[in-house]
Amino acid sequence: MSAVTPLLKNQFFSHGTYECNDMPATRRFLVDFLGLDIIRPLKEAQYMWKGGPWSVVCVCVQDGEPKVQAPQNHFKLSVGSAAEVDAAHAAALAHKDEYGIKEIRDVETVDGQRSFKLWDLNNTWWEISTINQSYYDEIFAKGDARH
Partner 1 sequence: MNVQVEPGATSPYVKTQSLICGTLVTTDIKRSRRMYEEAFDMECVEPEKGLMFVREKGHRPGEANYGKPYWVLEVREVADIEVPQEMLNHWGFEAPNQAAVDEAYAQLTAKKAEYGITRVQKPFFRNGSYAIYATDKDSNWWEFEYRTPDLIYTALREKGDQFAD
Per the CB < 8 A criterion, the answer to whether 56 and 47 are in contact is yes
To partner 1, the closest distance from the beta carbon of 31 in angstroms equals: 7
**CA dist., res. 54 & res. 48, Å (int):** 9
To partner 1, the closest distance from the beta carbon of 18 in angstroms equals: 8
**CA dist., res. 98 & res. 104, Å (int):** 14
For 89, list phi and psi in degrees, rounded to 5.
Answer: -65, -45
Q: Whose Cβ is closer to partner 1: residue 15's or residue 105's?
A: 15
Q: Is 10 in the site for partner 1 (CB under 8 A)?
A: yes
The span from the first CA to the last CA of the chain, in angstroms, equals 17
Q: Whose Cβ is closer to partner 1: residue 98's or residue 103's?
A: 98
Residues of span 63-102 touching partner 1 by CB under 8 A: 65, 67-70, 72-80, 84, 87-88, 91-92, 95, 98-100
Q: Is 139 in the site for partner 1 (CB under 8 A)?
A: yes
Residues 6 or more apart whose Cβ sits within 8 Å of residue 111 = none
Q: Whose Cβ is closer to partner 1: residue 4's or residue 112's?
A: 4
Q: Is 22 in the site for partner 1 (CB under 8 A)?
A: yes
